[in-house]
């Protein structure tokens, strides 16, 4: 009997990051198999009570609020210390994170502190035939998948790729007890100073969390070409991405690059426009549920990696698609 | 300004990676190897700092098999001064934490102001070694860095790092570990004189026994995570190529399919 499977609940400015709910939903069956309790762990300063209700509604049996003045903003030093301290005290069997900017950073540092075994950016959580936890994860940018086990790990940690596990519908009637823990931190523990946070005015939804992505490549011909994709994105609530070719040409910022050397995304729908579909690009979007390609080159490798394809001029196809989507949207 | 750059040799991004028939591991025969692209940004940034301050050394630290020497030489040809190569079968088969532990043990005895690592290696894609290295050396780190400004007294560094929806500007006391993200710089190519000079530069070979670590802390014995089985990735069904008289007709058909069949919009 273990001491619980923990899910690190990552806060955003206004709520909890969606991947937290995806993990909470997916972990319930594994926890049941192992006879473990599911706990959400939240770090911050004055964490709103509603966060506990949200975590409970997706399956948390218990919620830890680890609070401190010095946890008001995320820092690796502060958060990893506070998390490692409570892990050392409570000895959970497993701690799971979203494979986000924060989740990858925090899991690596906390794992080093508590000598955990850690697997990054996993797409599946399992219990193997001998009853041990294991995970599946892409390696070599998705060219290979591996099952990873954790022999000799006092604590198992894994970060889970956002948008891959499917959240169950929340049950608002489910409540979970909240245990408040005061973190032990001193100002000297945090060696890094946050000077400034610069928000880019870009998409409301980050690429890594987007349900739908409309992405453009060399075929967009120029920066202005992306206007077509933005128009479509506006109608269907998508986030716009770009291939390496489009970023290297200076048409889009690096932060919007999808691929092996950019962001790894996993939306419900990925619409690739004027993207040839190199092995590196596929590495960044291969786990998308539905992939659509629009490209005038019938030989483009993307057509062997997509679900739906149109071989034609994207400058005619994309506006026509947007028009039709607009019509459907108006019909409701 | 003394920099250490941690460098890993990885298969080329174009390489086809196959799985051994028994699924125990990947096959890396006949694969072309390169410097991990994110580590290359680290080499470039270290060289720029040396140029800016007009003094100091750039040292490459690499853990991996013999073949890694080729990538180390490339970094030396770019302009790095010397290298340490942790090359011992006893260090193989570990996880990110055994690697970080061995690197930390080696680096402890060296003089440095800053350590550059890639934000992740593009083979195992773990993004763990750099963070663990900083933890074991008890120095701060900043991940996903796209801009580095070292203060003139070399006591502090200001960095811009990518976060969700923008950038964060951090100030860290030095020494610190910085992980490099695309956008930080454009790595230079090795010049011909650089390549000639690199042949004479020192690559110090380090064995497991040179590090003051227990056998239980290194290699497979120290690993807390282990690849049990490798698979080829799941294949997608063949694509439906939409036909139609005009681009507009194809577009209409596709949107209908996305709505009714794929239920994706």
Tell me which CATH homologous superfamily contains domain A5-189: HUPs (3.40.50.620)
Average of pLDDT values for B9-38? 93
Whether residues B79 and B13 fall in one domain: yes
Domain shared by B242 and B218, yes or no: no
Residues B149 and B190 in one domain: yes
- Structurally, chain B folds into a number of domains equal to 2
Between the CA atoms of A322, A323, A327 and A329, what dihedral angle is there, to the nearest 10 degrees?
20
Instruction: Answer yes or no: is pLDDT of A205 > 90.
Output: no
Complex ipTM value: 0.95
- What is the pLDDT, as a whole number, of residue B16? 87
- Taking contacts as CB-CB distances below 8 angstroms, the residues of chain B near A289 are 264
CB spacing of B251 vs A310 below 8 angstroms: yes
Query: Percent of chain A beyond pLDDT 90?
Result: 87
Q: With contact defined as beta carbons under 8 Å apart, do A276 and A302 qualify?
A: yes
In this prediction, residue A1 has a pLDDT band, given cuts at 50, 70 and 90, of: very low
| In CATH, A207-331 is 3.40.50.261 | no
Does A199 contact B at CB distance below 8 Å? yes
Contact B105, B84 (CB under 8 A): no
Residues B205 and B111 in one domain: yes
Task: Tell the residue number behind the tokens 């950073």, with chain if given.
Answer: A105
**Average pLDDT of the residues in A21-27:** 97
Question: What average pLDDT does the structure give for chain B?
Answer: 96
What part of B 91-150 touches A (C-beta under 8 Å)?
A: 95-97, 100, 122-128, 130-132, 134-136, 139-144, 146
pLDDT at A144 over 50: yes
Whether residue B142 is found in the same domain as residue B83: yes
Minimal C-alpha gap between A50 and chain B (Å): 23
Q: Are residues B134 and B248 in the same domain?
A: no
Q: Give me the pLDDT at residue A129, please.
A: 86
Residue B22, chain A, CB below 8 Å: the answer is no
Whether the predicted pLDDT of B75 surpasses 60: yes
The SS3 assignment for A146 reads strand
Could you tell me if B141 and B265 lie in one domain? Answer: no
Pairing, β A156-160 against β A38-44: unpaired
Q: How far is B199 from chain A (nearest CA, A)?
A: 30
What is the DSSP-derived secondary structure letter of residue A49? T
- pLDDT reading at A203 higher than 80: no
Classify residue B78: in a domain, yes or no: yes
Average pLDDT over residues A90-96: 96
Q: Quick one: chain B helix, strand, coil %, rounded to 5? A: 30, 30, 40
Residue B185 pLDDT greater than 50, yes or no: yes
Q: Is the pLDDT of residue A267 over 50?
A: yes
Indicate if the pLDDT at residue B210 is higher than 60.
yes
Domain that holds residue B203: 3-222
Q: % helix / strand / coil in chain A, to the nearest 5?
A: 35, 30, 35
Q: Rounded mean pLDDT of B171-175? A: 98
- For chain A, give the mean pLDDT: 95
| Predicted TM-score of the model (pTM) | 0.95
Determine the Cα–Cα distance for residues A201 and A228; give it in Å rounded to an integer: 19
Please answer yes or no on whether A261 and B182 come within 8 Å at the CB atom: yes
Integer Cα distance of A27 and A100 in angstroms:
18
Q: Measured between alpha carbons, how far is residue B239 from residues A293, B67, B235 in Å?
A: 9, 40, 11
Q: How far is CA B95 from CA A119, A250, B2, B217, B234, in A?
A: 10, 37, 28, 10, 25
- Tell me the nearest-neighbour CA distance from B147 into chain A, angstroms: 13
Band of pLDDT at residue A2, cut at 50, 70 and 90: low
The answer to whether the Cβ–Cβ distance between B167 and A150 falls below 8 Å is: no
Contacts of A218 (CB under 8 A, 6+ apart): A243, A245, A246, A249, A274, A275, A276
- Average pLDDT of the residues in B29-45: 96
Note whether B258 contacts A290, CB cutoff 8 Å: yes
pLDDT band at A13 (very low <50, low <70, confident <90, very high): confident
Q: Residue A121 and residue B125: Cβ atoms within 8 Å?
A: yes
Q: If contacts are CB pairs under 8 Å, which of residues 134-193 in chain A contact chain B? A: 134, 137-154, 191-193
Give the number of A-B residue pairs with CB atoms closer than 8 Å: 261
Judge whether residue A190 has pLDDT over 80.
yes
CB-based contact, B241 to chain A, within 8 Å:
yes
Domain spans in chain A, listed from the N-terminal domain onward = 5-189, 207-331
Rounded to an integer, the average pLDDT of A278-298 is 94
What is the average pLDDT across A26-37? 92
Residues B207, B257, single domain; the answer is: no
- pLDDT above 90 (res A141): no
Same-domain check for residues B101 and B195: yes
Task: Enumerate the residues of chain B whose CB falls inside 8 A of the CB of residue A291.
Answer: 236
Domain shared by B132 and B252, yes or no:
no
Mean pLDDT of A300-323: 97
- Give Cα separations from B117 to A64, A208, A244, B2, B259 (angstroms): 34, 23, 22, 14, 45
Q: Is the Cβ pair A316, B236 closer than 8 Å?
A: no
Q: How far is B202 from chain A (nearest CA, A)?
A: 31
Condensed to tens digits (0 to 9), the pLDDT of residues B146-167 reads 999 999 999 999 999 999 889 9
* A108 vs B: CB within 8 A: yes
Region B70-80: mean pLDDT is 98
Q: With CB atoms and an 8 Å threshold, state whether B242 touches A208.
A: no
- Asked if residue B178 and residue B242 are part of one domain, the reply reads no
- Residue partners of A141: CB distance under 8 A and separation at least 6: A260, A279, A280, A283, A284, B13, B122, B125
Q: Which residue has the higher pLDDT, A6 or A263?
A: A6
In a domain, B229, yes or no: no
pLDDT, position A47: 96
Over residues B81-90, mean pLDDT: 97
A-proximal residues of B, 43-82, CB under 8 Å? none
> What are the tens digits of pLDDT across the range A100-110?
999 999 999 99
Q: Are residues B193 and B255 in the same domain?
A: no
Residue A201 above 70 pLDDT? no
Residue B234 has a pLDDT of 83
Q: What angle do CA A109, B96, B212 make, to 5 degrees?
A: 95
User: Is A246 in the B-facing interface, judged by CB distances under 8 Å?
Assistant: no
Residue A204 has pLDDT above 80, yes or no: no
Inter-chain CB proximity A286 and B233 less than 8 Å: yes
User: At A332, is the pLDDT very low, low, confident or very high (cuts 50, 70, 90)?
Assistant: confident
pLDDT at residue number A40: 98
pLDDT tens for A165-186 read 999 999 999 999 999 999 999 9
Q: Once rounded to an integer, what is the mean pLDDT over residues A271-297?
A: 95
Q: Do the domain assignments include residue B38?
A: yes
pLDDT at A200: 79
pLDDT at A73 over 80: yes
């Amino acid at each position: 009997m273990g001491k619980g499977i923990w899910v690190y609940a990552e806060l955003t400015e206004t709520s909890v990051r969606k991947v937290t709910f995806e993990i909470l939903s997916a972990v319930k069956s594994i926890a049941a198999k192992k006879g473990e309790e599911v706990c959400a762990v939240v770090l911050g300063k004055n964490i709103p009570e509603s966060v506990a209700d949200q975590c409970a509604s997706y399956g948390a049996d218990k919620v830890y609020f680890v609070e401190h003045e010095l946890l008001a903003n995320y820092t690796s030093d502060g958060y990893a210390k506070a998390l490692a301290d409570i892990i050392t005290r409570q000895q959970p069997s497993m701690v799971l994170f979203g494979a986000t900017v924060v989740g990858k950073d925090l899991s690596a540092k906390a794992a080093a502190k508590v000598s955990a075994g850690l697997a990054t950016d996993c797409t599946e959580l399992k219990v193997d035939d001998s009853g041990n936890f294991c995970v599946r994860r892409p390696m070599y940018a998705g060219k290979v998948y591996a099952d990873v086990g954790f022999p000799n790990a006092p604590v198992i940690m894994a970060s889970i790729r956002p948008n891959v596990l499917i959240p169950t519908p929340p049950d608002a009637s489910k409540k979970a007890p909240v245990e408040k823990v005061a973190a032990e931190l001193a100002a000297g523990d945090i060696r890094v100073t946050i000077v400034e946070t610069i928000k880019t005015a870009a998409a409301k939804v980050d690429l890594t969390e987007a349900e739908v992505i409309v992405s453009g490549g060399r075929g967009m011909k120029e920066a202005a070409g992306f206007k077509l994709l933005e128009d479509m994105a506006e109608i269907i609530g998508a986030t716009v991405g770009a291939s390496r070719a489009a970023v290297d040409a200076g048409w889009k910022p690096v932060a919007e690059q999808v691929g092996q050397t950019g962001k790894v995304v996993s939306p419900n729908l990925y619409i690739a426009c004027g993207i040839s579909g190199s092995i590196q690009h596929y590495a960044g979007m291969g786990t998308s549920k539905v992939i659509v390609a629009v490209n005038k080159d019938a030989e483009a490798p993307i057509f062997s990696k997509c679900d739906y394809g149109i071989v034609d001029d994207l400058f005619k196809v994309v506006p026509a698609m947007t028009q039709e989507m607009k019509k459907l949207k108006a019909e409701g | 300004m003394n920099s250490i750059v941690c460098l890993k040799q990885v298969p080329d991004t174009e390489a086809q990676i196959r799985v051994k028939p028994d699924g125990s591991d990947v096959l890396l025969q006949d694969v072309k190897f390169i410097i991990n692209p994110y580590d290359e940004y680290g080499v470039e940034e270290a060289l720029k700092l040396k140029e800016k301050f007009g003094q100091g050394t750039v040292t490459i630290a690499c853990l991996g098999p013999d073949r890694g020497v080729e990538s180390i030489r490339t970094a030396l040809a770019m302009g790095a001064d010397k290298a340490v190569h942790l090359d011992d079968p006893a260090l193989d088969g570990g996880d990110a934490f055994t690697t970080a532990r061995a690197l930390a043990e080696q680096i402890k005895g060296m003089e440095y102001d800053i350590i550059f690592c890639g934000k992740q290696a593009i083979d195992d894609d773990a993004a763990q070694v750099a963070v663990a290295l900083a933890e074991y050396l008890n120095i701060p780190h900043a991940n996903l860095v796209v801009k580095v400004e070292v203060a003139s007294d070399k006591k502090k560094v200001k960095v811009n790092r990518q976060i969700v929806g923008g950038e964060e500007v951090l100030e860290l006391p030095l020494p610190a570990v910085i992980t490099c993200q695309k956008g930080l710089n454009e790595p230079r190519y090795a010049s011909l004189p650089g390549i000639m000079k690199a042949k004479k530069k020192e690559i110090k070979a380090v064995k497991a026994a040179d590090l003051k670590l227990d056998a239980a802390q290194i290699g497979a014995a120290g690993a807390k995570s282990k690849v049990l089985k490798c698979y080829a990735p799941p294949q997608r069904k063949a694509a439906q190529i939409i036909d139609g008289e005009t681009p507009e007709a194809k577009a209409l058909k596709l949107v209908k399919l996305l709505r009714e069949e794929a239920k994706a919009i």
